[in-house]
Amino acid sequence: MTSRTTGPINIVDLFAGCGGLTQGFHAFKPGAFRTVGAVEWDIAAASTYAANFAEEAGGTDRIYAGDIAEWDPRDVDSTVDVILGGPPCQGFSGLGKGDPDDPRNKLWKEYVRVVLALQPKIFVIENVDRFLRSREFELLTASAGRDGELRDYVLQTKLLNAADYGVPQTRRRVIVLATHRDVVASHPSREPFKHPQPTHRKPSKDGDEGTLFTTVEDWIPSSAVFSMTPPETETTKLPDRTCNILGKTLPGIFRTTDLHIGRNPTELSLKRYQAIPEGGNRHSLPEELSTENWINHRSGSGDVMGRLWWDRPAVTIRTEFYKPEKGRYLHPKAHRPITHLEAALFQGFPLDYKWVGSKIQIARQIGNAVPVGLAKAIAGNLYRYLRLTTP
């Protein structure tokens, strides 16, 4: 395996979505990483990715909008140092049916196929926490055994909380790091690439419990996002414009600043919003504003019709964050759900990030993304690790 210790580190992003992982890598240090290819089946998400990264990748033909099973890794004409990717998680997610036979569970095998073809120094897999308890995770781990397909790689797996890395959101994700054994052998430490140490922590009730040698700040609260956005929304619509980046005309291109769009709640919904205090939820509603189902079922998720806290991070931002009936997505103070702009900021996307798609498509892209701050922390560790590798 060849080793380059100068110039940008080349990355390929599989199941790329709108580019949260890639954006995190680019946010670490301008010029440190270079996108040389990406794969994403959803045309709106792929168009968002291309709007932001196709130029540096060498053109839109480097962004494959289609089924990964039909993509030929040989289309990448550069040396690939790192592969990133979050195979679809719906089959593992606690919000879905948790079907072990869901065909989407098998897509990690396509990821492995690409790894075997491109032989990166390091690859990174992101998934939901339930992935750790799945049959697919067992198979992935076994594939790094003596006779497995990934026997040339050393795997390190950890469950990380995005809030521990400066993200104003308590999003827990499994991060699998894999280092080629040749890279381990040539590294001064003789150890594989490891997960980044937390830079933030949940505030202690007993005061400061820091160490003499490590500065760890408190989690960043949701107020960091809401202090950047107007309390009210002026429109329910995205600007009227279209684009055609990857062969299909779609709404866009929009900037993150265009996404402060609201809803038209019914009179009943507005009364419910007004009756729920900060940190409250459906259990806070008086009987006349509740539903028979909510009254009779006091168990289950308390986050339904939940209002966020001003001084705590947000809960996990999912794909339907604009629907309060789906989770804890009411603004801490204003009587409305969070907007697409606020959701994008909770995920760490910059204000000038480019977006393509309808309101629903963009919401799905935001909710499915890897938080930029978490990706940036991984990128920093990875950059420092590879720069110490001997030629």
Residue 55 pLDDT greater than 70, yes or no: yes
Residue 91 pLDDT greater than 50, yes or no: no
Q: What is the mean pLDDT of residues 366-389?
A: 96
Report the distance separating Cα 285 and Cα 276, nearest Å. Answer: 6
**Of 89, 107, 314, 378, catalytic:** 89
Report the distance separating Cα 128 and Cα 88, nearest Å. Answer: 9
Residue 321 pLDDT greater than 60, yes or no: yes
pLDDT tier at 1, thresholds 50, 70, 90: low
Residue 98 pLDDT greater than 50, yes or no: no
pLDDT tier at 96, thresholds 50, 70, 90: very low
Confirm whether pTM is higher than 0.85: yes
Residue 167 pLDDT greater than 70, yes or no: yes
pLDDT digits (tens, 9 = 90+) for 123-158: 999 999 989 988 889 999 999 999 999 999 999 999
Residue 95 pLDDT greater than 50, yes or no: no
pLDDT tier at 122, thresholds 50, 70, 90: very high
18 is catalytic: no
What pLDDT was estimated at residue 209? 53
Region of 288 (left: φ > 0; alpha: ψ -120 to 50; beta: rest) is alpha
What pLDDT was estimated at residue 334? 97
Long-range contacts of 346-349 (CB under 8 A, 24+ apart): 346/167, 346/168, 346/169, 346/222, 346/225, 346/314, 346/317, 346/371, 347/20, 347/167, 347/169, 347/317, 347/371, 347/372, 348/20, 348/23, 348/24, 348/167, 348/372, 348/373, 348/376, 349/20, 349/23, 349/256
pLDDT digits (tens, 9 = 90+) for 177-229: 999 999 999 999 999 999 999 999 999 876 555 555 567 899 999 999 999 99
What pLDDT was estimated at residue 210? 53
What pLDDT was estimated at residue 160? 98
Residue 246 pLDDT greater than 80, yes or no: yes
Q: What is the mean pLDDT of the chain?
A: 91
Q: Indicate the DSSP class of residue 197.
A: P
pLDDT tier at 105, thresholds 50, 70, 90: low
Q: What is the mean pLDDT of residues 342-364?
A: 98
Query: Quick one: how many helices (H) and strands (E) in the chain?
Result: 11, 14
What pLDDT was estimated at residue 92? 40
Residue 120 pLDDT greater than 90, yes or no: yes
